Protein backbone atom coordinates (compact mmCIF):
# COMPACT_ATOMS: atom_id res chain seq x y z
CA UNK A 1 0.00 0.00 0.00
CA UNK A 2 1.10 3.57 -0.55
CA UNK A 3 2.46 5.52 2.41
CA UNK A 4 -0.82 6.92 3.75
CA UNK A 5 1.01 9.69 5.59
CA UNK A 6 2.39 11.27 2.43
CA UNK A 7 0.24 10.09 -0.46
CA UNK A 8 -3.10 11.48 -1.56
CA UNK A 9 -5.17 8.33 -1.69
CA UNK A 10 -8.15 9.70 -3.62
CA UNK A 11 -7.99 12.29 -6.42
CA UNK A 12 -9.57 15.67 -5.67
CA UNK A 13 -10.81 17.28 -8.88
CA UNK A 14 -11.57 21.00 -8.98
CA UNK A 15 -12.15 23.69 -11.60
CA UNK A 16 -11.37 22.49 -15.13
CA UNK A 17 -10.53 18.93 -14.01
CA UNK A 18 -13.91 18.62 -12.34
CA UNK A 19 -15.73 20.02 -15.38
CA UNK A 20 -13.91 17.60 -17.67
CA UNK A 21 -14.78 14.69 -15.39
CA UNK A 22 -18.46 15.66 -15.37
CA UNK A 23 -18.47 16.16 -19.15
CA UNK A 24 -16.95 12.71 -19.71
CA UNK A 25 -19.99 11.13 -18.02
CA UNK A 26 -22.24 12.19 -20.88
CA UNK A 27 -20.14 10.34 -23.46
CA UNK A 28 -21.51 7.00 -24.67
CA UNK A 29 -19.74 4.20 -22.80
CA UNK A 30 -17.67 1.80 -24.84
CA UNK A 31 -18.77 -1.80 -25.30
CA UNK A 32 -16.40 -2.92 -22.56
CA UNK A 33 -17.60 -0.24 -20.14
CA UNK A 34 -21.20 -1.28 -20.71
CA UNK A 35 -20.46 -4.90 -19.81
CA UNK A 36 -21.05 -5.46 -16.10
CA UNK A 37 -19.31 -8.82 -16.27
CA UNK A 38 -15.78 -7.49 -16.15
CA UNK A 39 -13.83 -4.60 -14.71
CA UNK A 40 -10.41 -4.25 -16.30
CA UNK A 41 -7.77 -1.72 -15.33
CA UNK A 42 -6.06 -1.27 -18.66
CA UNK A 43 -4.57 1.65 -20.53
CA UNK A 44 -5.53 0.20 -23.90
CA UNK A 45 -9.14 -0.55 -24.94
CA UNK A 46 -7.86 -3.49 -26.98
CA UNK A 47 -6.43 -5.06 -23.83
CA UNK A 48 -9.82 -4.80 -22.14
CA UNK A 49 -11.55 -6.45 -25.10
CA UNK A 50 -9.01 -9.26 -25.10
CA UNK A 51 -9.41 -9.80 -21.37
CA UNK A 52 -13.19 -9.88 -21.73
CA UNK A 53 -12.96 -12.46 -24.52
CA UNK A 54 -10.63 -14.61 -22.42
CA UNK A 55 -13.10 -14.51 -19.56
CA UNK A 56 -16.02 -15.32 -21.85
CA UNK A 57 -14.23 -18.32 -23.36
CA UNK A 58 -13.01 -19.58 -20.01
CA UNK A 59 -16.51 -19.47 -18.55
CA UNK A 60 -17.99 -21.13 -21.64
CA UNK A 61 -15.52 -23.99 -21.20
CA UNK A 62 -16.40 -24.38 -17.50
CA UNK A 63 -20.12 -24.45 -18.26
CA UNK A 64 -19.57 -27.04 -20.98
CA UNK A 65 -17.64 -29.30 -18.61
CA UNK A 66 -20.40 -29.17 -16.00
CA UNK A 67 -23.12 -29.80 -18.58
CA UNK A 68 -21.29 -32.88 -19.89
CA UNK A 69 -19.85 -34.35 -16.68
CA UNK A 70 -21.99 -33.00 -13.84
CA UNK A 71 -20.70 -33.73 -10.34
CA UNK A 72 -17.47 -35.19 -11.71
CA UNK A 73 -16.72 -31.86 -13.38
CA UNK A 74 -17.58 -29.93 -10.21
CA UNK A 75 -15.08 -32.01 -8.25
CA UNK A 76 -12.37 -31.68 -10.91
CA UNK A 77 -12.86 -27.90 -11.20
CA UNK A 78 -12.75 -27.48 -7.41
CA UNK A 79 -9.42 -29.33 -7.35
CA UNK A 80 -8.14 -27.28 -10.28
CA UNK A 81 -9.02 -23.97 -8.59
CA UNK A 82 -7.90 -25.22 -5.15
CA UNK A 83 -11.42 -24.84 -3.75
CA UNK A 84 -12.99 -27.13 -1.15
CA UNK A 85 -14.57 -30.27 -2.59
CA UNK A 86 -18.25 -29.68 -3.47
CA UNK A 87 -20.76 -30.89 -0.93
CA UNK A 88 -24.47 -30.72 -0.21
CA UNK A 89 -25.88 -29.83 3.18
CA UNK A 90 -29.48 -30.68 3.99
CA UNK A 91 -30.56 -28.68 7.00
CA UNK A 92 -33.00 -31.13 8.56
CA UNK A 93 -34.27 -30.86 12.14
CA UNK A 94 -31.19 -32.52 13.62
CA UNK A 95 -28.72 -30.46 11.60
CA UNK A 96 -30.60 -27.25 12.38
CA UNK A 97 -30.55 -27.94 16.10
CA UNK A 98 -26.80 -28.52 15.97
CA UNK A 99 -26.42 -25.25 14.05
CA UNK A 100 -28.44 -23.38 16.66
CA UNK A 101 -26.20 -24.73 19.39
CA UNK A 102 -23.00 -23.76 17.54
CA UNK A 103 -23.92 -20.17 16.79
CA UNK A 104 -23.52 -17.47 19.46
CA UNK A 105 -26.82 -16.02 20.60
CA UNK A 106 -25.68 -12.52 19.65
CA UNK A 107 -25.13 -13.66 16.04
CA UNK A 108 -28.58 -15.26 15.89
CA UNK A 109 -30.18 -12.12 17.36
CA UNK A 110 -28.54 -9.90 14.73
CA UNK A 111 -29.61 -12.12 11.86
CA UNK A 112 -33.11 -12.57 13.28
CA UNK A 113 -33.68 -8.83 13.55
CA UNK A 114 -32.24 -8.11 10.10
CA UNK A 115 -34.42 -10.83 8.57
CA UNK A 116 -37.49 -9.37 10.24
CA UNK A 117 -36.84 -5.92 8.77
CA UNK A 118 -36.03 -7.26 5.28
CA UNK A 119 -39.18 -9.38 5.37
CA UNK A 120 -41.38 -6.49 6.51
CA UNK A 121 -40.14 -4.29 3.66
CA UNK A 122 -40.54 -7.04 1.05
CA UNK A 123 -44.05 -7.80 2.25
CA UNK A 124 -45.00 -4.14 1.85
CA UNK A 125 -43.68 -4.18 -1.72
CA UNK A 126 -45.39 -7.42 -2.75
CA UNK A 127 -48.68 -6.19 -1.31
CA UNK A 128 -49.14 -3.96 -4.36
CA UNK A 129 -48.93 -6.94 -6.74
CA UNK A 130 -52.67 -7.47 -6.93
CA UNK A 131 -54.54 -9.20 -9.77
CA UNK A 132 -56.21 -6.88 -12.27
CA UNK A 133 -59.46 -7.49 -14.20
CA UNK A 134 -60.71 -5.16 -16.94
CA UNK A 135 -64.32 -5.57 -18.10
CA UNK A 136 -64.47 -4.68 -21.80
CA UNK A 137 -68.13 -5.60 -22.24
CA UNK A 138 -67.75 -8.30 -24.88
CA UNK A 139 -64.86 -9.88 -22.99
CA UNK A 140 -62.82 -9.61 -19.83
CA UNK A 141 -59.04 -9.22 -19.67
CA UNK A 142 -56.80 -9.58 -16.67
CA UNK A 143 -53.32 -9.72 -15.26
CA UNK A 144 -52.02 -12.03 -12.53
CA UNK A 145 -48.71 -12.45 -10.71
CA UNK A 146 -47.24 -15.90 -10.12
CA UNK A 147 -43.87 -16.75 -8.58
CA UNK A 148 -41.27 -18.90 -10.28
CA UNK A 149 -41.09 -22.44 -8.92
CA UNK A 150 -37.43 -22.96 -8.00
CA UNK A 151 -34.68 -20.40 -7.28
CA UNK A 152 -30.97 -20.64 -6.52
CA UNK A 153 -29.46 -17.86 -4.42
CA UNK A 154 -25.73 -17.45 -5.02
CA UNK A 155 -23.99 -16.17 -1.88
CA UNK A 156 -20.43 -14.87 -2.34
CA UNK A 157 -17.87 -16.00 0.24
CA UNK A 158 -14.55 -14.93 -1.22
CA UNK A 159 -13.00 -12.10 0.73
CA UNK A 160 -16.03 -11.91 3.01
CA UNK A 161 -18.80 -14.47 3.64
CA UNK A 162 -22.08 -12.61 3.17
CA UNK A 163 -24.98 -13.88 5.29
CA UNK A 164 -26.59 -10.52 4.54
CA UNK A 165 -26.92 -11.58 0.89
CA UNK A 166 -28.48 -14.87 1.98
CA UNK A 167 -31.15 -12.85 3.80
CA UNK A 168 -31.65 -10.33 1.00
CA UNK A 169 -32.11 -12.99 -1.68
CA UNK A 170 -33.78 -15.90 0.08
CA UNK A 171 -36.15 -13.93 2.33
CA UNK A 172 -37.28 -11.82 -0.62
CA UNK A 173 -37.87 -14.92 -2.75
CA UNK A 174 -39.87 -16.53 0.05
CA UNK A 175 -42.02 -13.42 0.49
CA UNK A 176 -42.71 -13.45 -3.27
CA UNK A 177 -44.09 -16.96 -2.89
CA UNK A 178 -41.21 -19.07 -4.23
CA UNK A 179 -41.67 -22.49 -2.66
CA UNK A 180 -38.37 -24.15 -3.60
CA UNK A 181 -35.22 -22.20 -2.72
CA UNK A 182 -31.66 -23.47 -2.54
CA UNK A 183 -28.46 -21.66 -1.63
CA UNK A 184 -25.11 -22.14 -3.36
CA UNK A 185 -21.94 -20.65 -1.92
CA UNK A 186 -18.19 -21.28 -2.11
CA UNK A 187 -18.15 -21.52 1.69
CA UNK A 188 -21.17 -22.56 3.74
CA UNK A 189 -20.34 -20.70 6.92
CA UNK A 190 -22.73 -21.27 9.81
CA UNK A 191 -23.97 -17.68 9.46
CA UNK A 192 -25.00 -18.37 5.86
CA UNK A 193 -26.75 -21.61 6.83
CA UNK A 194 -28.65 -19.86 9.60
CA UNK A 195 -29.57 -16.87 7.40
CA UNK A 196 -30.94 -19.24 4.78
CA UNK A 197 -32.90 -21.18 7.38
CA UNK A 198 -34.74 -17.98 8.33
CA UNK A 199 -36.24 -18.08 4.81
CA UNK A 200 -37.12 -21.75 5.13
CA UNK A 201 -34.15 -22.95 3.05
CA UNK A 202 -33.05 -26.50 3.82
CA UNK A 203 -30.95 -27.25 0.69
CA UNK A 204 -27.43 -25.83 0.54
CA UNK A 205 -24.63 -26.59 -1.93
CA UNK A 206 -21.01 -25.68 -1.28
CA UNK A 207 -19.74 -24.77 -4.71
CA UNK A 208 -18.59 -21.51 -6.20
CA UNK A 209 -17.68 -19.68 -9.34
CA UNK A 210 -18.95 -20.24 -12.86
CA UNK A 211 -19.20 -23.99 -12.19
CA UNK A 212 -21.77 -23.42 -9.45
CA UNK A 213 -23.87 -21.29 -11.79
CA UNK A 214 -23.67 -23.99 -14.46
CA UNK A 215 -24.66 -26.66 -11.94
CA UNK A 216 -27.86 -24.94 -10.84
CA UNK A 217 -28.71 -23.86 -14.39
CA UNK A 218 -28.37 -27.30 -16.01
CA UNK A 219 -28.48 -29.63 -13.02
CA UNK A 220 -26.09 -32.40 -11.97
CA UNK A 221 -26.50 -35.77 -10.28
CA UNK A 222 -26.69 -34.05 -6.89
CA UNK A 223 -28.14 -30.65 -7.80
CA UNK A 224 -31.59 -30.16 -9.29
CA UNK A 225 -31.78 -27.42 -11.92
CA UNK A 226 -33.58 -24.18 -11.11
CA UNK A 227 -35.77 -21.67 -12.92
CA UNK A 228 -33.94 -18.56 -11.73
CA UNK A 229 -30.53 -17.62 -10.31
CA UNK A 230 -30.09 -14.52 -8.16
CA UNK A 231 -27.28 -13.00 -6.17
CA UNK A 232 -24.00 -11.18 -6.90
CA UNK A 233 -20.58 -12.70 -7.51
CA UNK A 234 -17.19 -12.14 -9.06
CA UNK A 235 -16.53 -11.63 -12.77
CA UNK A 236 -16.72 -15.38 -13.45
CA UNK A 237 -20.03 -15.76 -11.68
CA UNK A 238 -21.48 -12.76 -13.48
CA UNK A 239 -20.29 -13.92 -16.88
CA UNK A 240 -21.70 -17.38 -16.19
CA UNK A 241 -25.08 -15.84 -15.34
CA UNK A 242 -24.96 -13.94 -18.59
CA UNK A 243 -24.25 -17.11 -20.56
CA UNK A 244 -26.96 -19.25 -18.93
CA UNK A 245 -29.62 -16.54 -19.23
CA UNK A 246 -32.39 -17.88 -21.40
CA UNK A 247 -31.95 -21.36 -20.02
CA UNK A 248 -32.85 -19.80 -16.67
CA UNK A 249 -33.85 -16.36 -15.49
CA UNK A 250 -31.42 -14.11 -13.63
CA UNK A 251 -31.84 -11.02 -11.50
CA UNK A 252 -29.10 -8.82 -13.00
CA UNK A 253 -25.44 -8.68 -14.00
CA UNK A 254 -23.96 -7.01 -10.96
CA UNK A 255 -20.37 -5.79 -10.95
CA UNK A 256 -18.18 -4.29 -8.21
CA UNK A 257 -19.81 -2.03 -5.63
CA UNK A 258 -20.08 1.73 -6.14
CA UNK A 259 -21.37 4.81 -4.38
CA UNK A 260 -21.90 8.43 -5.37
CA UNK A 261 -22.44 10.99 -2.61
CA UNK A 262 -23.89 14.43 -3.23
CA UNK A 263 -22.91 16.63 -0.27
CA UNK A 264 -23.20 20.28 0.70
CA UNK A 265 -21.05 22.27 3.13
CA UNK A 266 -23.14 21.11 6.08
CA UNK A 267 -22.13 17.47 5.68
CA UNK A 268 -19.89 15.80 8.26
CA UNK A 269 -16.47 15.31 6.66
CA UNK A 270 -15.54 12.35 8.88
CA UNK A 271 -18.78 10.55 8.06
CA UNK A 272 -18.21 11.15 4.36
CA UNK A 273 -14.70 9.73 4.55
CA UNK A 274 -16.04 6.59 6.23
CA UNK A 275 -18.88 6.30 3.71
CA UNK A 276 -16.43 6.43 0.80
CA UNK A 277 -14.16 3.87 2.46
CA UNK A 278 -17.07 1.55 3.26
CA UNK A 279 -17.61 1.04 -0.47
CA UNK A 280 -13.93 1.02 -1.43
CA UNK A 281 -13.21 -1.84 0.98
CA UNK A 282 -15.53 -4.20 -0.95
CA UNK A 283 -13.26 -4.80 -3.92
CA UNK A 284 -10.24 -3.31 -5.73
CA UNK A 285 -12.62 -2.45 -8.58
CA UNK A 286 -15.13 -0.71 -6.27
CA UNK A 287 -15.69 2.98 -6.95
CA UNK A 288 -16.51 5.82 -4.54
CA UNK A 289 -17.42 9.33 -5.70
CA UNK A 290 -18.04 12.44 -3.65
CA UNK A 291 -19.77 15.25 -5.56
CA UNK A 292 -19.86 18.56 -3.72
CA UNK A 293 -20.02 22.31 -4.24
CA UNK A 294 -17.69 22.91 -1.28
CA UNK A 295 -13.94 22.75 -1.92
CA UNK A 296 -13.26 23.10 1.81
CA UNK A 297 -15.34 19.99 2.48
CA UNK A 298 -13.62 18.12 -0.34
CA UNK A 299 -10.14 18.87 1.02
CA UNK A 300 -11.17 17.92 4.55
CA UNK A 301 -12.57 14.58 3.39
CA UNK A 302 -9.41 13.78 1.41
CA UNK A 303 -7.26 14.40 4.50
CA UNK A 304 -9.54 12.31 6.69
CA UNK A 305 -9.44 9.41 4.24
CA UNK A 306 -5.66 9.31 4.62
CA UNK A 307 -6.05 9.31 8.42
CA UNK A 308 -8.73 6.61 8.42
CA UNK A 309 -6.73 4.32 6.13
CA UNK A 310 -3.85 4.48 8.61
CA UNK A 311 -6.05 3.62 11.61
CA UNK A 312 -8.72 1.21 10.29
CA UNK A 313 -8.06 -2.41 9.45
CA UNK A 314 -8.71 -2.22 5.70
CA UNK A 315 -7.79 -4.59 2.85
CA UNK A 316 -4.44 -4.07 1.18
CA UNK A 317 -6.09 -3.11 -2.10
CA UNK A 318 -7.86 -0.09 -0.62
CA UNK A 319 -5.47 2.34 -2.34
CA UNK A 320 -6.27 0.75 -5.72
CA UNK A 321 -10.01 1.35 -5.28
CA UNK A 322 -9.46 4.88 -4.01
CA UNK A 323 -7.08 5.80 -6.84
CA UNK A 324 -9.86 5.01 -9.33
CA UNK A 325 -12.42 6.93 -7.28
CA UNK A 326 -12.72 10.71 -7.01
CA UNK A 327 -13.78 13.70 -4.95
CA UNK A 328 -15.24 16.18 -7.44
CA UNK A 329 -15.91 19.86 -6.71
CA UNK A 330 -18.57 21.31 -9.01
CA UNK A 331 -20.09 24.77 -9.28
CA UNK A 332 -23.42 23.98 -7.63
CA UNK A 333 -25.55 21.25 -6.09
CA UNK A 334 -27.56 21.21 -9.31
CA UNK A 335 -24.36 20.32 -11.20
CA UNK A 336 -23.69 17.59 -8.63
CA UNK A 337 -27.16 16.16 -9.15
CA UNK A 338 -26.71 16.20 -12.93
CA UNK A 339 -23.41 14.35 -12.56
CA UNK A 340 -25.03 11.80 -10.22
CA UNK A 341 -27.74 11.15 -12.79
CA UNK A 342 -25.05 10.42 -15.39
CA UNK A 343 -23.04 8.20 -13.05
CA UNK A 344 -26.26 6.19 -12.39
CA UNK A 345 -24.66 4.67 -9.29
CA UNK A 346 -25.55 1.52 -7.44
CA UNK A 347 -25.83 3.56 -4.23
CA UNK A 348 -26.58 7.27 -4.08
CA UNK A 349 -26.34 9.31 -0.89
CA UNK A 350 -27.84 12.77 -0.47
CA UNK A 351 -25.81 14.39 2.31
CA UNK A 352 -27.52 17.77 2.04
CA UNK A 353 -29.64 20.02 4.24
CA UNK A 354 -32.87 19.41 2.32
CA UNK A 355 -32.63 16.03 0.56
CA UNK A 356 -36.37 15.88 -0.13
CA UNK A 357 -36.10 18.99 -2.31
CA UNK A 358 -33.43 17.33 -4.47
CA UNK A 359 -35.00 13.88 -4.63
CA UNK A 360 -37.34 14.72 -7.50
CA UNK A 361 -34.34 15.77 -9.63
CA UNK A 362 -32.64 12.39 -9.25
CA UNK A 363 -33.40 9.82 -11.93
CA UNK A 364 -30.81 7.04 -12.02
CA UNK A 365 -29.72 5.05 -8.97
CA UNK A 366 -30.09 1.60 -7.49
CA UNK A 367 -30.85 2.74 -3.94
CA UNK A 368 -31.10 6.22 -2.45
CA UNK A 369 -29.98 7.24 1.07
CA UNK A 370 -31.26 10.64 2.17
CA UNK A 371 -30.04 12.89 4.97
CA UNK A 372 -26.78 13.55 6.80
CA UNK A 373 -27.36 10.54 9.04
CA UNK A 374 -28.07 8.08 6.22
CA UNK A 375 -25.30 5.72 5.13
CA UNK A 376 -25.14 2.84 2.65
CA UNK A 377 -24.18 0.25 5.31
CA UNK A 378 -27.67 0.69 6.80
CA UNK A 379 -29.06 -0.62 3.53
CA UNK A 380 -26.38 -3.29 3.26
CA UNK A 381 -27.64 -5.03 6.34
CA UNK A 382 -30.81 -4.26 8.16
CA UNK A 383 -32.81 -1.19 7.09
CA UNK A 384 -35.10 -3.35 4.94
CA UNK A 385 -34.60 -2.35 1.27
CA UNK A 386 -32.55 -4.83 -0.74
CA UNK A 387 -28.80 -4.50 -1.20
CA UNK A 388 -28.63 -6.51 -4.45
CA UNK A 389 -28.52 -3.60 -6.88
CA UNK A 390 -27.59 -2.65 -10.47
CA UNK A 391 -24.02 -1.45 -11.08
CA UNK A 392 -21.96 -0.09 -13.99
CA UNK A 393 -24.65 2.46 -14.94
CA UNK A 394 -27.29 -0.27 -15.26
CA UNK A 395 -29.50 1.83 -12.96
CA UNK A 396 -30.39 3.74 -16.15
CA UNK A 397 -32.63 0.80 -17.11
CA UNK A 398 -32.81 -1.61 -14.16
CA UNK A 399 -33.77 -1.68 -10.50
CA UNK A 400 -32.65 -3.70 -7.50
CA UNK A 401 -33.73 -7.14 -6.36
CA UNK A 402 -37.28 -7.14 -4.98
CA UNK A 403 -40.28 -9.47 -4.79
CA UNK A 404 -41.25 -8.60 -8.38
CA UNK A 405 -37.94 -10.14 -9.50
CA UNK A 406 -39.47 -13.52 -8.71
CA UNK A 407 -42.98 -12.82 -10.01
CA UNK A 408 -44.12 -13.44 -13.57
CA UNK A 409 -46.80 -11.14 -14.90
CA UNK A 410 -49.38 -13.29 -16.73
CA UNK A 411 -52.27 -11.83 -18.73
CA UNK A 412 -55.52 -13.64 -19.51
CA UNK A 413 -58.54 -13.15 -21.78
CA UNK A 414 -62.03 -14.59 -21.16
CA UNK A 415 -64.91 -14.69 -23.69
CA UNK A 416 -68.17 -16.30 -22.70
CA UNK A 417 -69.88 -15.49 -26.02
CA UNK A 418 -69.42 -13.77 -29.37
CA UNK A 419 -67.33 -10.61 -29.33
CA UNK A 420 -68.40 -9.00 -32.61
CA UNK A 421 -66.45 -5.75 -32.36
CA UNK A 422 -63.27 -7.47 -31.22
CA UNK A 423 -63.55 -10.06 -34.01
CA UNK A 424 -64.02 -7.42 -36.69
CA UNK A 425 -61.17 -5.27 -35.37
CA UNK A 426 -58.88 -8.27 -35.16
CA UNK A 427 -59.73 -9.48 -38.68
CA UNK A 428 -59.15 -6.01 -40.09
CA UNK A 429 -55.81 -5.69 -38.37
CA UNK A 430 -54.75 -9.16 -39.56
CA UNK A 431 -55.67 -8.18 -43.13
CA UNK A 432 -53.52 -5.09 -42.69
CA UNK A 433 -50.51 -7.28 -41.89
CA UNK A 434 -51.35 -9.91 -44.51
CA UNK A 435 -51.85 -12.75 -42.02
CA UNK A 436 -54.82 -14.51 -43.57
CA UNK A 437 -55.17 -17.34 -41.04
CA UNK A 438 -55.28 -14.82 -38.22
CA UNK A 439 -58.10 -12.96 -40.02
CA UNK A 440 -59.97 -16.20 -40.75
CA UNK A 441 -59.74 -17.31 -37.11
CA UNK A 442 -61.32 -14.04 -35.98
CA UNK A 443 -64.06 -13.98 -38.68
CA UNK A 444 -65.01 -17.60 -37.95
CA UNK A 445 -66.14 -16.50 -34.53
CA UNK A 446 -68.64 -14.01 -35.98
CA UNK A 447 -70.97 -16.88 -36.91
Q: Are residues 432 and 329 in the same domain?
A: no
- In DSSP terms, 328 is beta-bridged to 13, 291
Q: Is 329 exposed, middle or buried (0-12, 13-18, 19+ CB in 10 A)?
A: buried
Helix, strand, coil abundance in the chain, percent, nearest 5: 45, 15, 35
The string of pLDDT tens digits covering residues 132-175 is 999 999 999 999 999 999 999 999 987 778 999 999 999 999 99
Range of the domain at 153: 87-254+402-407
- Are residue 236 and residue 292 in the same domain, yes or no? no
CA atoms within 13 A on the CB side of 304: 17
Say yes or no: 437 and 354 in one domain: no
DSSP 197: H
Phi, psi of 239 (to 5 degrees): -65, -40
Same-domain status, 355 and 434: no
User: Would the pTM count as exceeding 0.85?
Assistant: yes
Cβ(395)–Cβ(255) under 8 Å?
Answer: no
**Range name among 6-20, 305-319, 393-407 with the lowest pLDDT average:** 6-20
225 and 300 in a single domain? The answer is no
Report the candidate in 387, 352, 381, 380 with the shortest Cα–Cα distance to residue 366. 387
What number of other Cβ atoms are within 10 A of residue 253's Cβ?
20
- pLDDT at residue 38 above 70? no
- Region class of 229: left (phi > 0), else alpha (psi between -120 and 50), else beta: beta
Span 426-444, mean pLDDT? 98
Q: Which helix (H) or strand (E) holds 321?
A: helix 318-323
Determine how many CB atoms are found less than 10 A away from the CB of residue 127: 10
Any domain includes 34: no
pLDDT tier at 7 (50, 70, 90 boundaries)? low
Looking at 346, 387, 421, 433, which residue is catalytic?
Answer: 346
Residues 289 and 370 in one domain: yes
Judgement on whether residues 109 and 225 belong to the same structural domain of the protein: yes
272 domain residue, yes or no: yes
Q: How many residues does the chain have?
A: 447
Beta bridge partners of 210: none
Does residue 231 share a domain with residue 92? yes
Number of domains the chain is built from: 3
Separation CA 430–CA 437 (nearest Å):
8
* Beta strands 87-90; 203-206: pairing state: antiparallel
Q: How many CB atoms lie within 10 A of CB 104?
A: 9
- Say whether both 281 and 425 belong to one domain: no
Percentage of the chain modeled with pLDDT above 70: 94
Domain assignment of residue 38, yes or no: no
* pLDDT at 8 (0 to 100): 79
Judge whether 173 lies within some domain: yes
CB 199 within 8 A of CB 171: yes
**Is the model's pLDDT at 30 over the cut of 70?**
no
Q: Note whether 371 and 297 are within 8 A (CB).
A: no
Q: Tell me the mean pLDDT in the region 420-427.
A: 98
Give start and end residues of each alpha helix (H) in 158-294. Answer: 163-166, 172-176, 190-197, 209-218, 235-244, 269-280
For the segment 263-280, what is each residue's pLDDT rounded down to a tens digit?
999 999 999 999 999 999
Q: How confident is the model at residue 25 (pLDDT cuts 50, 70, 90)?
A: confident
pLDDT for 377-413, tens place per residue? 999 999 999 999 999 999 999 999 999 999 999 999 9
Does residue 318 belong to any structural domain of this protein?
yes
Same domain, 299 and 439: no
284 with 155, same domain: the answer is no
Q: Looking at 52, 347, 387, 421, which residue is catalytic?
A: 347
* Distance, CA of 75 to CA of 259 (rounded, Å): 38
CB count within 10 Å of CB 153 equals 34
Q: Considering the domain boundaries, does residue 155 fall inside one?
A: yes
Percent of the chain surpassing pLDDT 90: 91
Q: What pLDDT sits at residue 161? A: 80
Residue 31 annotated in active site: no
- Do 98 and 207 sit in the same domain of this protein? yes
For residue 141, list its beta bridge partners.
134, 413
CA 349, CA 260: separation in Å to the nearest integer?
6
Cα 192–Cα 198–Cα 200 angle in degrees, nearest 5: 105
Contact 262, 291 (CB under 8 A): yes
Interatomic CA distance for residues 381 and 117, integer angstroms: 10
Q: How far apart are CA 240 and CA 37, in angstroms?
A: 9
Give the mean pLDDT of the chain: 93
CA distance 169 to 37: 20
The neighbour count for residue 444, using CB atoms within 10 Å, is 10
Q: Which of the four pLDDT bands, split at 50, 70 and 90, describes residue 112?
A: very high
Is the pLDDT score of 10 beyond 90? yes
Q: d(Cα 37, Cα 234) in Å, to the nearest integer?
A: 8
Taking Cα atoms as reference points, which of 147, 118, 117 lies closest to residue 404? Answer: 147
Residue 387 within any structural domain of the chain? no
> How far is Cα 327 from Cα 267, in angstroms, rounded to an integer?
14
The answer to the question of residue 64 being in a domain is no
Is residue 305 within 8 A of residue 322, CB to CB? The reply is yes
For range 213-224, the mean pLDDT: 98
117-135 confidence digits (pLDDT tens) = 999 999 999 999 999 999 9
**CATH number of residue 211's parent domain:** 3.40.50.1980
Per the annotation, the verdict on 307 as an active-site residue is no
d(CA 191, CA 108): 8
Amino acid sequence: MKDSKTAELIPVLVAEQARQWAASLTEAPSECEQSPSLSVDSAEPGDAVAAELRLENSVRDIISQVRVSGDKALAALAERFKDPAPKTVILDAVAKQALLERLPQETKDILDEAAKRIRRFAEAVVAVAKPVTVDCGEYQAGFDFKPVARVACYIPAGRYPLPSTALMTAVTAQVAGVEDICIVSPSLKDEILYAGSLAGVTEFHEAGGAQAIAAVAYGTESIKSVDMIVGPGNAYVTEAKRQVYGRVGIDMLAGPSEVAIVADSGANAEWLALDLLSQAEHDPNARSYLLTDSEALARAVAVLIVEKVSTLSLPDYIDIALASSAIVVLDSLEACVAAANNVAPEHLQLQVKDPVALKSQLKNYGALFMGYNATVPYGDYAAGPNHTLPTNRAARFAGGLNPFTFLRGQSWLHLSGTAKELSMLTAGFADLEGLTAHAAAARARLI
